[in-house]
Amino acid sequence: MNNISETCTNFKDKSGTKTTKFWLIVLILLVLLIPIGFLFGIISDREDYKREAVYTVASSWGKYQVFDAPSMYFEQKVKDNVENKYLPLQDYTVDVSLITEVRKKGVFKVPVYTANVVLKGNFINEYGNLADKQTKINFGVSDSAGFVEEPLIKLSNNKPVRVQDTQYAVKLKTYETSIPFEISYKIRGIDEVYTTLRGQSNKVKISGNWKDPSFVGNFLPSTREVGNENFSAEWSVPQIAISGINDARVGVSLLMPVDNYRMATRCLKYAFLFLSLTFLSYFIYEIAAQKAKRIHPLQYLMLGGAMLIFYLLLVSMSEFLPFAAAYAIAALMIIALIGTYTFFVITKRQNLTFSVIISLLMILLYTFLYILLSLQDFALLIGSIGLFVIIAGIMYVTRNVDWYNENQ
């Protein structure tokens, strides 16, 4: 009986050593990787639901639009084949005025627009008399279902004509070396708008009542103005700049101020680091503080679970609140929970100082993470410096720990 009692006592003492406890914490951290994976899946599912909401709105309103540059051509028989002969486009100008709004589908917000489009320019006739040929003009769009009204075409000095197709057959009555045109229409779209560039000179202006535009395409605007509620951007692109680009285009994306799912995913990538630093703080408390209470592995699991709930709170609340507000509320909830649990359960109301320290540490961690999210371009630099400071702090706090002494 004495041998059995001695064996149990030795096992209990051994199980409480610093080295054993350290590897047990590592094992708990590895186990917590499983719910972290589930959290990535939950965020991905919510993103899928958002895409479905966007698709639903787009199917009834109109998809994102690409306004193709007009082309004028006629058919000519060459040997046994029929070829399209295109007239060069010169002095091409595009004026797009966007009236934007936000449509809601469930909890998701989808930016949509109605665009007033005016295309102007000249086609250069290099083929002589075209009066005996059936000439066609084409001004395609990516989603014709978005048309609000029939387009209006004006060629040369002719009267404007309403058309029912984006391809229109014209009969030129006289020889013309330059054929001016003007095409105007109103069309709906979602999220993004582009126009292609095919002229010998191209001037594009896009304006609208949106405060967070993102300028996209092959070229940045020559000039732009972004106000609190409106924006205006202009491009000037010569033919030599687009000669080596297939389907050159410029445009605007109605960028939502914050994509909460993308930000939440970036947050979650730091989850393992946050868990490790928090657990390390409790481990240092166990081995460095005099008369420190032993922390049970299940308590480590509960602490880790509480920290992971932060990401669920963040995603769910950011669907209804601005991301910054959702982040602050979720972080404060978790900090209050862990600080209270530490004081009343782990330290048994005997060490208020450590409870305050752990709360302050978590405030610093969540503040540090939000800074990383906000300063994306400098995230690597700030993150590296932050980790250096953290490691230096851990080295300083544990400088007097005798790691070879396995007795707690």
Tell me the CB-side half-sphere exposure of residue 112, using CA atoms within 13 A.
Answer: 23
How far is it between the farthest Cα atoms of the chain?
119
Beta-bridge partner residues of 187: 115, 147
Q: Which residue has the tokens 């972080």?
A: 331
pLDDT at 264: 92
Which pairs from 263-268 meet CB under 8 Å and 24+ separation?
263/318, 263/323, 263/373, 264/43, 264/311, 264/314, 264/315, 264/318, 265/40, 265/43, 266/373, 267/311, 267/314, 267/327, 267/369, 267/373, 268/36, 268/39, 268/40, 268/43, 268/311
Q: One digit per residue, pLDDT tens: the chain, 408 residues?
A: 455 445 444 434 444 577 888 899 999 999 999 999 999 999 999 988 888 888 888 888 989 999 999 999 888 877 777 788 889 999 999 999 999 998 888 788 888 999 999 999 999 888 877 777 788 889 989 999 999 999 999 988 778 888 888 888 777 766 678 889 999 999 999 989 999 999 999 999 999 999 889 999 999 999 999 988 899 999 999 999 998 888 899 999 987 666 788 889 989 998 998 899 899 889 888 877 656 678 889 999 999 999 999 999 999 999 888 899 999 999 999 999 999 999 998 888 887 888 898 899 899 889 988 888 887 667 778 778 877 887 787 777 667 766 666 554
The span from the CA of 364 to the CA of 197, in Å, is: 50
Q: What is the pTM of this model?
A: 0.73
Is-contact 388 398, C-beta < 8 A?
A: no
Number of residues in the chain: 408
**Distance (Å) of CA 389 to CA 29, 354, 371, 392:** 22, 20, 16, 5
CB-based burial label for 377 (10 Å; 0-12, 13-18, 19+): exposed
| Residue 173: other Cβ atoms inside 10 A | 10
pLDDT at 1: 46
Residue 156 backbone class (left: φ over 0; alpha: ψ -120 to 50; beta: rest): left
**Distance (Å) of CA 371 to CA 117, 174, 238, 377, 391:** 41, 67, 42, 11, 19
Between strands 65-67 and 192-196, the pairing is parallel
Is-contact 146 188, C-beta < 8 A?
A: yes
Q: Which two tokens stand for residue 240?
A: 């030599």
Residues of the chain within CATH 2.60.40 domain(s) are 63-257
pLDDT at 408: 46
Tell me the CB-side half-sphere exposure of residue 184, using CA atoms within 13 A.
Answer: 8
**Distance (Å) of CA 152 to CA 181, 202, 215:** 11, 21, 28
Beta-bridge partner residues of 112: 101, 190
What are φ and ψ of residue 123, in 5° steps? Answer: -100, 135
**How far, in whole angstroms, is CA 186 from its chain's centroid?**
29
Tell me the CB-side half-sphere exposure of residue 206, using CA atoms within 13 A.
Answer: 29
What are φ and ψ of residue 259, in 5° steps? Answer: -90, 100
pLDDT at 53: 85
Third-level CATH fold of 63-257: Immunoglobulin-like (2.60.40)
pLDDT at 351: 78
The span from the CA of 129 to the CA of 10, in Å, is: 106
Torsion, Cα of 294, 296, 300, 306 (10° steps):
-100
